[in-house]
Amino acid sequence: MASSNTPIPVTILSGSLGAGKTTTLNHVLTTEQELNAAVLVNDMGEVNVDAEFVERESELSQSDEEIIEMSNGCICCRLRGDMLDEVGRLADQRDFDYLLVESSGISEPIPVAQTFARGFEDAEFDPTGVYELDTMVSVVDAHSFWQGFDSGQALTDDDIEPQGNRVPEEALMDQIEFCDVLLLNKCDLVPDEELDEMEAVLQALQPRAKILRTKHGAVDPTEILATGRFDFDEASQSAGWKRELQHGHHHESAADEHGVTSFIFDADRPFHPERIARLFADLPDGVVRAKGFFWSAGREDVAMGLDKAGQSVRAGPKGTWLATLPEAEQERYFAARPGIKEDWDDQWGDRGTELVFIGREFDQETLTDRLDDCVLSEAEMDEDWDAYPDPFSPDDQRELALADD
Ligand SMILES: Nc1nc2c(ncn2[C@@H]2O[C@H](COP(=O)(O)OP(=O)(O)OP(=O)(O)O)[C@@H](O)[C@H]2O)c(=O)[nH]1
């Protein structure tokens, strides 16, 4: 039993629709080993645990089941309202050694993680001290892996509110990029060589995650409970594209032999807005992820951002060039990160392009050449950039490409 002053390790399980979250939870709930885990689910009806594992089924009326006790010590409870209040109540009422939360339907993994890691100001219950976020797990469906990056639901301009609605690819990317353990599930349905390739892509997207292949969610509970793998800052910085930007080079990995590519394109000169918009809308299908900043000629006031997750491509104003800040503020950035000053251009400051591309089976050289062609030529550097038609939105990142059905 957890003593009152040892925080209970929390595992957050996320994954896209039908990936196998419930199957995985059921597996943990009915594992042979004695396990004092509390499993918090959104929909009790989904957890079709076999009667033989349910200890006190008779005490539960069908309509009012809130907590089911399993014969191996696990309890399964339904999330009724606010997650924090619920886990607070649970900790008051029960003794358990691990908490496993299915995050679907509650919120996306990052806000859930934030809630556990840092508490929530307005909530009655403060989880810090009682709970400790321990492991972020994402269940990925191997069978529909590639479709996962191609929902065909990229948004049209008209659909976009400021900040935009998120498309499934973006949610999937969050789950992959912000996790400690990736369960590549439904491995029974996919040949090994293909699994190797998926693993290589996952590793490129999230180099820090431990990847496990599972069939019907059959994971050893010790791989996802009390692993000690979570670290908020590391998790926030560990996405493949962030690492690539920070370190600017390849990490030793199995990526290459499976046709997985990850590279940075950088340029000191701006892109021609129309040419680069056209290219962004027509990136090779194999590019699973692209992200970073770029300089679009005529938009010297703002750093443009590119964010491609699967078929969804957003581009537009995103950040601030240091060059547009008052000098005193610039100095503070220079002091914090001396590297900035080294790359400073006398005329243009930090304006420039740094984009990461991650994917498989696309030709890096061809893409690099195409990107180079979008950069202003020597002659164009002297033109009036404000005269160029600008296809990007004036004030936010917009969807650029639609999946061609
Ligand atoms: N062949 C195969 N089927 C699986 C596997 N894991 C889960 N399934 C099936 O896939 C379907 C979806 O599984 P769930 O566990 O309900 O998936 P989920 O992620 O909880 O789904 P939602 O809650 O709807 O998002 C079910 O019919 C499972 O039986 C697996 O490893 N192999």
- CA distance to 88, 113, 170, 239, 345, per residue, from 243 (Å): 36, 21, 19, 6, 24
In tens, the pLDDT along 351-363 reads: 999 999 999 888 9
What's residue 308's pLDDT? 92
Q: Angle 117-121-126 (CA atoms, 0-180°, nearest 5)?
A: 55
Angle at 17 between CA 16 and CA 19, to 5 degrees: 70
Question: Mean pLDDT of all residues in the chain?
Answer: 84
pLDDT at position 2, please?
47
Q: Can you give the pLDDT at residue 46? A: 65
pLDDT in tens, 208-237: 999 999 999 999 999 999 999 998 888 888
48 Cβ below 6 A of ligand 1: no
Confidence at 62, pLDDT banded by 50, 70, 90: very low
Mean pLDDT along residues 65-74: 80
336-372 exposure pattern, b = at least 16 Cβ within 10 A, e = fewer: eeeeeeeeeeeeebbbbbbbbbbbbebeeeebeebbe
Residue 131 Cα to ligand 1 midpoint, Å, equals 29
Ligand 1 center to 215 CA (angstroms): 10
Residue 330 Cβ inside 6 Å of ligand 1? The answer reads no
Ligand 1 mean position to 391 CA, how many Å? 42
Domain 243-399 has CATH 3.30.1220.10: yes
pLDDT at 75: 86
- Prediction pTM value: 0.83
pLDDT on residue 142: 95
Does any ligand 1 atom lie closer than 6 A to the CB of residue 45? no
Crossing angle of helices 109-118 and 168-177, in 10° steps, is 40
Is residue 199 over pLDDT 90? Answer: yes
Domain residue ranges in the chain: 8-238, 243-399
Higher per-residue confidence, 398 vs 21: 21
What is the residue with the minimal CA distance to atom 5 of ligand 1?
A: 216
Task: Given CATH 3.40.50.720, say whether it is the number of domain 8-238.
Answer: no
ipTM topping 0.95: yes
